[in-house]
A and B are shown apart, each in its own frame.
Chain A
């Protein structure tokens, strides 16, 4: 469904007669703020595109994206800067808000640069969590272990 929206946006640029995709009526720049409680990564910076992993699926945000609120799940956030550079961060959870004036607030509970994660440690944590899941029977503890499994699986997948 997200891909269809992408195509719908890309199509008008191909037509010769109407080319309203280039000059958007609102502000074409995306003011991107990406922060965690202890660190600010981007503050109202203009970027080209941001890919975020949400509970309903991963999607990319470009300037003039339709306003939406989403909740993040463990995964990789990719930021494509105006100068062509990309930066990848692993986020644990959080929220993303796209407003009508094309400003995006990405708030992550914990976020680190991808190259600061160790795949061996992640795999070890994953195995430990999976064996814990088999052991516990308490609902709340099971949910916590499941969260740990999801996060570690996402880390391993991101680093591979």
Chain B
């Protein structure tokens, strides 16, 4: 038995060195993992309910947002490449974690974009929608951040939220020429993808060649139109991001619950084995004590 216990000490298959775990330790561990499994299961239920609502709200929002983007696609507006232009990146995530790679995907795309643009000598500034993104970016790219938005993701996003973000962005005083909004598009329950949609300033749109086709546009009308289009695109980004986040949280909590139940099964076996070993040890002591008499 001495040999067996030393084998336990020197073989870290489970990644830890145990000194003959007592029944009490295993019981405590088992209880805590069972609690965690309950929590992750309930988080999965909540995320599933929120996801159902978010997906339902996404359907009209997608048609609305794509309608707003139609102009930029059909007129094929592109900013002039040569002159040093000011860029803007709006990253859309949320405040809460435990949702897989949602926030890190957007952060990675933004970091690559910043690296490309600063490498080409252009100025770029970032707007964070969601506290998690701020946490990921401010340490390394803190000087690029101009605006942070909090309290995102608690309730489903509304048109008012998008208009508040757009108002603050336009009032911030940063005269950007072009930019993009980075967010996670919802593809299915199990998949989402970080995507970018373009944003252009009034000057770029007005001076684009294909805009000449459009008749009877004065500066005032174009300004109003652009502001409204910006809000619409932000609204689409918020809704898509919300649906992706809830579906990702659902799958993450589902795998966490599965992992927890696996650990519970293994621990229960270990518990039973330990319990039997303790009983056997006591029996042997009793029997050898009785035999000695």
Contacts and interface: CB of A to CB of B under 8 A. Distances in A.
A37 interface: yes
Interface string B192-219: 0000000000000000000001111100
B215 A37 contact: no
Contacts of B159: 37-38, 109
Contacts of B235: 37
Contacts of B158: 37
Contact of B228 (A40, A71, A106): A71
Contacts of A36: 60, 64
A40 B67 CA distance: 11
A89 to B, nearest CB: 15
Contacts of B64: 35-37, 40, 107
Contacts of A40: 59-60, 63-64
B68 interface: yes
A67 B230 CA distance: 20
Contacts of B24: none
A36 B59 CA distance: 12
A112 B272 CA distance: 66
A51 interface: no
B215 A66 contact: yes
A101 interface: yes
A55 B224 CA distance: 10
Interface string A105-143: 111010000000000000000000000000000000000
Interface string A13-34: 0000000000000000000010
A69 interface: yes
Contacts of A109: 159, 228
Of the four ranges (under 10, 10 to 19, 20 to 34, 35 or more), the interface on chain A belongs to 20 to 34
Contact of A105 (B68, B75, B216, B221): B68
Of the four ranges (under 10, 10 to 19, 20 to 34, 35 or more), the interface on chain B belongs to 20 to 34
B61 interface: yes
A95 B74 contact: no
B222 A69 contact: yes
B161 to A, nearest CB: 11
Contacts of B75: 99
Contacts of B241: none
A103 B221 contact: no
Contacts of B57: 38
A69 B77 CA distance: 14
Contacts of B213: 67, 100
B74 A107 contact: no
Contact of A56 (B61, B70, B221): B221
A101 B75 CA distance: 10
Interface in B219-237: 221-222, 224-225, 228-229, 232, 235
A39 interface: yes
7 contacts: A37-B235, A38-B57, A55-B221, A67-B213, A69-B221, A97-B70, A107-B64
The 4 closest A-B pairs by CB, nearest first: A105-B67, A37-B159, A35-B64, A71-B224
Given A40-B64, A68-B216, 11 more contacts: A35-B63, A35-B64, A36-B64, A37-B61, A40-B59, A68-B215, A71-B221, A71-B224, A95-B225, A97-B71, A99-B74
